[in-house]
Amino acid sequence: MAPHLNRCRKRLDLTARERNVAERMVAGSSNGEIAMAIGISEGTAKFHVANILKKLETRNRPAAVVVIIAERSLS
């Protein structure tokens, strides 16, 4: 398990905006809620979420949240 988490940590190279979006994803916010909270369009929020999923090499939002939480525990 530890080698997998170390790989996850290396992948977590997010921009400041993506980190902001990622934190809101962990909190359970929808794209619309993220957009409203940080002053962007819902489409832009969706774009950032898609980038996060790609960078974390995950297929869906719950899997990305697991990686983000795992990375926190390694910090």
pLDDT one-digit tens code per residue, 64-73 = 999 899 887 7
Q: For residue 60, what are the contacts with CB-CB under 8 A and spacing of at least 6? A: 53
Class of domain 2-74: mainly alpha
Task: Express each pLDDT in 25-72 by its tens digit.
Answer: 999 999 999 999 999 999 999 999 999 999 998 999 999 999 899 887
Query: Long-range CB contacts (< 8 A, 24+ apart) of 33-36?
Result: none
pLDDT at 1 over 80: no
Q: How confident is the model at residue 8 (pLDDT cuts 50, 70, 90)?
A: low
pLDDT of residue 49: 98
Domain residue spans in the chain? Answer: 2-74
